[in-house]
Amino acid sequence: MSLHLNAPIPSLGGATQWINAEPDFAEIKGKPVLIYFWAVSCQVCHANMSKLQSWREECVPSGLKMISIHCPRMKTDTDIAKVKAAVEKFRIVEPCAVDNMHKIKKAFENEIWPAYFLFDKDGKLKRRTAGNNGIAMLVPLLKDMVE
């Protein structure tokens, strides 16, 4: 089963910890939100980080909010020091949940890395994509939401 279009943003509760602080939901309300899942052991995730960085620079000033979810694929991914090092390396400045217990992953009904969930200003899911090309599939809708 997968999260359906127009579903509200699922709970972000259950994170092992937050890096860069927890999201401020009052600040997010009324803005488009990109929530993305990644793992330190995921090479496709690493390859897509530069695109996410460009969106931080181009779209965040126009109103986009981003939330990062580090969701381990294997036991070695649960090492908080490795996650913090990757957050620094990839210049992730938005709130980053460490989802070592997979509670957020389950709430989003997600089984793929990387995965991207784009919610509109009303908090409704408008697009869910994943994998190598998933990030590119968000571009037209993302541009419509922030322009």
Residue 61 has pLDDT above 70, yes or no: yes
Question: Which residues on neighbouring strands pair with residue 98, listed in sequence order?
Answer: 17, 70
pLDDT tens across 94-111, in order? 999 999 999 999 999 999
Please give the pLDDT value at position 60.
93
Helix (H) or strand (E) holding 25: helix 25-28
Give me the mean pLDDT over the 75-81 stretch.
97
Residue matched to tokens 């957020």? 104
As a dihedral over the C-alpha atoms of residue 40, residue 57, residue 117, residue 8, rounded to 10 degrees, the angle is 130
Q: What angle do CA 118, 123, 125 make, to 5 degrees?
A: 40
**C-beta of residue 31 within 8 angstroms of C-beta of residue 23:** no
Residue 65 has pLDDT above 70, yes or no: yes
Query: Between β-strands 65-70 and 33-38, what pairing exists: parallel, antiparallel or unpaired?
Result: parallel
